[in-house]
Amino acid sequence: IQRDKPVDVWGWAKPGDEVSVKFSGRSGSGTADKDGNWRVQLPAMEANSEPATMSISAGDNTLTFENILIGDVGLLCGQSNMQWGIGASNEGNLEVVSANFPNIRMLTIPQIFGPELKTNFPRAEEYSQITGEEQTRGDWQICTPETVGSMSAIGYVMARRIHMASQVPIGIVNTSRGGTTVEAWTPLTRLRKLDAPEVKARLAAADEQLASYSPEEDLKKQIAKFEAKVEQMKKEGKDISKM
């Protein structure tokens, strides 16, 4: 949890439920709205490396989250150079085997797609082409040699250096996605509020492209492209059994 800033805690419950949040000697309460959304704000707290427990109660249900630290939280955004894992970097194996930092925590957001605004994300097991292994996304992990391999190389090195210099807990949230622009994962409602001519022009072009897009025609083009590739491979005497 970010130090020296008010702590926002949010989630979902039955509409109208009273929600109580307790953490590190502080407490707060709120009410779930008609859609079940609730948000409670706790006062700012100083950095603390001692693990603390948060309990959230609503109705007859209570959730307990343990081993929470208070320090600095960083957000990693960018393309493949930010997404690239430390385990796949030059001499990354040396970094991995020495990555015993229990006060560094890492969260990688799962790859979820679509034009709708996302209010949540799942825990997910995803295959990494970079490491050649399954990796857990969507959940906080303690930095160890077993967990750090698929962590952003830039993010890990930054977190380690800041942690060693400041001696406060560091949390890293990795939202980077190779081959994307920042507009692709910024809510449209935010983009449409910007007055910059470049943004307005880009949105207008995107709106026009979406309006004229035909999934059926696009599928036909993709099939034709695939069939042409197969024919070309046949002419070149290449194996098409895996196509």
For the chain, 243 residues long, give each residue's pLDDT as a single digit of tens: 999 999 999 999 999 999 999 999 999 999 999 999 999 999 999 999 999 999 999 988 999 999 999 999 999 988 889 988 888 888 888 889 999 999 999 999 888 777 777 788 888 777 666 556 677 788 899 999 988 888 899 999 999 999 999 999 999 999 888 888 877 778 888 999 999 999 999 999 989 998 999 999 999 999 999 999 999 999 999 998 877
**Is residue 20 classed as helix, strand or coil in its secondary structure?**
strand
DSSP summary character for residue 2: B
Helix segments in the chain, DSSP class H: 80-83, 92-97, 153-166, 188-191, 197-212, 215-235
Instruction: Tokens for 23, please give them.
Output: 């953490």
What is the predicted pLDDT for the residue at 20? 97
Could you tell me the pTM of the whole model? 0.76
Instruction: Tokens for 2, please give them.
Output: 């970010």
What is the predicted pLDDT for the residue at 129? 62
Query: For residues 166 and 153, what is the distance between their CA atoms, to the nearest angstrom?
Result: 20
